[in-house]
Structure 1
Amino acid sequence: MSENYNLFYFFKQFPDEDACRKYLEKRRWGNTPVCPHCGNAQKVYRYKNGKTFKCAHCGKQFKVTTGTIYVILFQNYNLTFFLLPLLSFCMRSNAVTTYVYCVFPSSYGNL
C-alpha cells in the first residue's frame, strides 16, 4: 500500500462485499483455498453462493474468515464495514506485518 492510498481508491478497489472477499481470499490463500480444519488444498469446492467452501477430505464447510479474527467481526456485518478501518490502521501505524500476522497467522511465514 502506498502513501497515496485514499478513500476514493479504497472504494474503487473494493466497491462491494464480493470484492473485499476476493481480496481476503487472495491474501490468505493465493490461488488455491486451503481448508482451515485439516489443511487440505487438493480438493476444495466452492458453493454456488461464492462465499462458502467445502473440503472433500474432512467434509467441513468454511469461509475465508474461518479461523481468523474476521469470523467474530463479520458475523453480522458487511466485509467493507471493517476492511476500510483495518487498512487505514495499517497505513497510519506502519503495522502491516503485525496486521497480517494477527489476522492470517498461517501465512506469516510467506511474507
Structure 2
Amino acid sequence: MLGAAADPGLPQAADLRVDPGRVGTARLSPDGCRIAITRAAERAGLDVRLTGHSARRGLVTTGRKKGKKPEKLRKQSGHSANSPVLWSYVEDGEMWEDAATEGLGL
C-alpha cells in the first residue's frame, strides 16, 4: 500500500491493471475489475455472481460498520458527493448499529 505522501492524482496500487507477468500504469477498468473478481470467485469454487459493484458496495457497508467516515468511504469508492446509492450503502452499514438486541445474547 502506498504511504500517506503518495500523489493523490496517481492510481493507487490496488487500482492498477495487471496483465500476465506485469503491472500496468493505467487504472483498472470496470470491466477489468469484473473479470478479475469473477475469475477469483471461480478459482475459489464460489457459485455466486460477483461483480465490481459487489466489491464497491462491500467496501462502503463494511467500512461503515467498522466506523469509517462516510466521506472517506465516498472518496475511496469513487461515488459522487451526493450519491443516493452511496448513502443507501452507508445506511445498510449502520442498520444494526446500537441495535436493541445488541449484547442480549439473543
User: TM-score when scaled to structure 2?
Assistant: 0.26
User: TM-score when scaled to structure 1?
Assistant: 0.25
Q: Larger C-alpha radius of gyration, 1 or 2? A: 2
Higher relative contact order (Cα pairs below 8 Å, separated by 6+ residues): 1
